Amino acid sequence: MNRLLRRLLLWCARNDWMREHLPNLPFMKRAVHRFMPGDTIDDALGAAVTLQVLDIATIYTKLGEALTELPQAQEVADHYLELLSRIKSSEIDGEISVKPTQLGLDLDEDACFAHLRTLAAAAEAQGSYLWIDMEDSAYVDRTLDLFQRLRATHPRTGVCLQAYLRRTAKDVERLLPINPAIRLVKGAYDEPKAIAFQDRGEVDANYLGIAVTLLRESRTRPLRIGLGTHDVELVQQIATHAGAAGIPKEAFEVQMLYGIRAKEQRALVRAGFRVQVLIAYGPAWYRWYMRRLAERPANVLFALRQLLP
Amino acid sequence: MNRLLRRLLLWCARNDWMREHLPNLPFMKRAVHRFMPGDTIDDALGAAVTLQVLDIATIYTKLGEALTELPQAQEVADHYLELLSRIKSSEIDGEISVKPTQLGLDLDEDACFAHLRTLAAAAEAQGSYLWIDMEDSAYVDRTLDLFQRLRATHPRTGVCLQAYLRRTAKDVERLLPINPAIRLVKGAYDEPKAIAFQDRGEVDANYLGIAVTLLRESRTRPLRIGLGTHDVELVQQIATHAGAAGIPKEAFEVQMLYGIRAKEQRALVRAGFRVQVLIAYGPAWYRWYMRRLAERPANVLFALRQLLP
């Protein structure tokens, strides 16, 4: 049942007609508001204020659709440069996360890399950080290539890996020699069985296995480890493994999305965990939102409840 | 549903009336035969012949009930000494596994240790191996104490750890300094939520996390790692993690029970895995059999199918 709902939501995310019409329904905007502070940089940074007070740092990402021509990538890069400068002037402890396709990966890989380098340099200059997001499985090789090239000159950069992919344990080993920053997520695309674990238990097991690998390696090399998951029980399991091996909670960060399990975010901070919240904003929220619902079909019930007065 | 069936079977294992009457039903004996070659040492060793041809090594354990007086422990120890000498004279690649309570742990811990030492020495003398089995959670501390004491003088000994216990990641760290041999199982007793993961996904994740820890540690210290599970998918996941880190399949053994997933046992051998089969035998099979059914309620359907002509 959950799997069916998940496929339906992912289909809604991809389907053109749905994408054109669903976002305009008034209840959709109401339901999404809890997960997205708004369309503008101001909306996004405004949400950070409350979080800073709670000792929760932030990562910002502008939601975007696939590009059709290269100048759009320049606009996206310019937007992130403006965002970085606004983060700086607002004195917010904020980092940024970008999708390579938003910066033109599909159109011109070199141009995409040039944008990443510009953003990495700007982030570095103000003590911020650039995260490279991971998209569906067709992009993994190119994204890791970009990350490795970038990381050679810009150490304040990290990449996202997806635990549901069977290849990820191997990707981790490939990256370990460069002491990477890795944001580990479960994965939210609709990938076939041959390349991705379908069963939740298998994904969780893979997630924990990779986290254990990263944490143990962090004792002998400087890694940055972001646990990008809302599965608090899994985070606790990982913390138990870390604690058993004498690895402190400070060795990793828990990264959750704005508005999802907000109470648990605060509880984690109180329990001594480092927590970062990813704030996604912008008018192109529809696909992103559908994928978030698909990730945890329980969220659909939550979204439906928003419709009641 | 599965959880309910599991609790019911574990209750059948504990209940006195059921224990007295169920085993005498003719269909029970028929159903159990597939998992148990028989009551005697001859039955057990006989089963090894076919396995040896398939390159599958064996571990033997005599099923036993709780002891009521100490001389019974001596009988059990004598039985295992006879078993060891029969393993030797049959030129079988066989090891033994014992439960500390069978050797009197509940009655006299020192006597139990003395028996363990005798068996460890006898196993060592003929190039065999002594595994200490793990029972319910009340015995974990004492069993690990016994193992650590024993291991100090007898290196050809190993202990079983249960991945469903929350404490196990910590127990692994405690044992690592002595380069232990660990047989990792999921766990089959009915333990409360406070000390054991209840959700299959959580148990699997913990299992994988511990396996990754052991495998990575095996690169710098001589560990013996037995994956005591019938979950072939989990074994494959672990092998992927190992392979990614350049750890060969020879770094661990897959340990399954006689008659359970026999086809997969052979497939694993063909795929280059080292496989050991645990052969349990003896008249006191009832409790043990009920726990095996509880471990994988799908086995109940299998057992029921045995009743049909």
- A212 shares contact with chain B (CB less than 8 Å): yes
Q: Are residues A82 and A28 in the same domain?
A: no
pLDDT tens profile A191-206: 999 999 999 999 999 9
User: Which residues of B are part of the catalytic machinery?
Assistant: 133, 183
Tell me, what CATH number does A165's domain have?
Answer: 3.20.20.220
pTM of the predicted structure, to 2 decimals: 0.85
User: What average pLDDT does the segment B67-87 reach?
Assistant: 95
Same domain? For B153 and B226 the reply is yes
The CA distances from residue B276 to A18, A240, B46, B59, in Å, are: 55, 30, 16, 7
Task: Give kind and range of the element (H or E) at residue B275.
Answer: strand B274-281
Residue A24 lies in a domain: yes
Q: Which of B7-16, B44-53, B154-163, B290-299 has the lowest mean pLDDT?
A: B290-299
d(CA A37, CA A307): 18
Distances (CA, A) of B132 to A205, B51, B57: 27, 23, 18
- Average pLDDT of A64-72? 86
Closest CA of chain B from A62, distance in Å: 33
The answer to whether residue A289 is domain-embedded is: no
- A133 flagged as catalytic: yes
Is residue B29 predicted with pLDDT exceeding 90? no
Domain assignment of residue A216, given as a range: 37-284
Query: Could you tell me which residue, B302 or A215, shows the higher pLDDT?
Result: A215
Q: Which residue has the tokens 């996004």?
A: A44
Same domain, B185 and B138: yes
Is B202 within 8 Å of A237 when comparing Cβ atoms? Answer: yes
Please tell me whether residues A56 and A154 are part of one structural domain.
yes
Q: How many CB pairs under 8 A join A and B?
A: 83
**pLDDT class for B81, splitting at 50, 70, 90?**
very high
| pLDDT tens per residue, range A109-119 | 999 999 999 99
Co-location of B55 and B150 in the same domain: yes
Mean pLDDT of A29-45: 82
Choice among A6, A151, A156, A183 that is catalytic: A183
CB contact under 8 A, A202 and B237: yes
Best residue in B213, B220, B221, B231 for a mutation probing chain A (most A CBs within 10 Å): B213
Higher pLDDT, A286 or A272: A272
DSSP letter assigned to residue B249: G
Helix B109-125 with B140-153: angle, nearest 10 deg: 40
Residues B16 and B161 in one domain: no
Select, from the ranges B27-36, B122-131, B256-265, B292-301, the one with the highest average predicted confidence (pLDDT). B122-131
Q: Quick one: B127 and B4 in the same domain? A: no
CB atoms within 10 A of CB B49: 11
Q: Do A305 and A247 belong to one domain? A: no
Q: Would you call B206 an interface residue with chain A, using a CB distance cutoff of 8 Å? A: yes
For A235-264, what is the mean pLDDT?
95
Q: What is the pLDDT of residues A113-152, one digit of tens each?
A: 999 999 999 999 999 999 999 999 999 999 999 999 999 9
The answer to whether B224 and B198 have CB atoms below 8 angstroms apart is no
Task: Specify the pLDDT at position B301.
Answer: 67
pLDDT band (50, 70, 90) for residue B304 = low
Is B213 within 8 Å of chain A by CB?
yes
Query: Do B91 and B12 share a structural domain?
Result: no
Q: What is the pLDDT of residues A56-65, one digit of tens each?
A: 999 999 988 7
B218/A contact by beta carbon, under 8 A: no
Task: Please tell me if residue A207 touches chain B, with a CB cutoff of 8 Å.
Answer: yes
pLDDT at position A282 over 90:
no
Give chain A's mean pLDDT.
Answer: 91
Strand-pairing partners, residue A225, are A182
Domain count, chain B: 2
| Residue B64 clears pLDDT 60, i.e. is over it | yes
Q: What percent of chain B has pLDDT over 90?
A: 71
Q: Is residue A245 included in any domain, yes or no?
A: yes
Residue A66 lies in a domain: yes
- Provide the token pair at B258: 């006689």
Is A80 domain-assigned?
yes
Cβ count near B220 (within 10 Å): 7
Chain centre to alpha carbon of residue A253: 13
Q: Name the β-bridge partners of A226.
A: A183, A253
How far CA A57 is from CA of A91, A132, A273, A276, in Å, comes to 12, 18, 12, 5
With a cut of 70, say whether residue B302 has pLDDT above it. Answer: no
Instruction: Say whether both A108 and A247 belong to one domain.
Output: yes
Q: What is the pLDDT of residue A306?
A: 57
Q: Do A212 and B207 touch (CB under 8 A)?
A: no
List pLDDT tens digits, range B170-216. Answer: 999 999 999 999 999 999 888 999 999 999 999 999 999 999 999 99
Please check whether residues A213 and A308 belong to one and the same domain: no
- Asked whether residue B299 falls in the same domain as residue B223, the answer is no
Judge whether A230 lies within some domain: yes
What pLDDT, on the 0 to 100 scale, is given for residue B291? 77
More confident residue, B15 or B169: B169
A204–B contact, CB cutoff 8 A: yes
The answer to whether the beta carbons of residues A216 and B213 sit under 8 Å apart is: yes
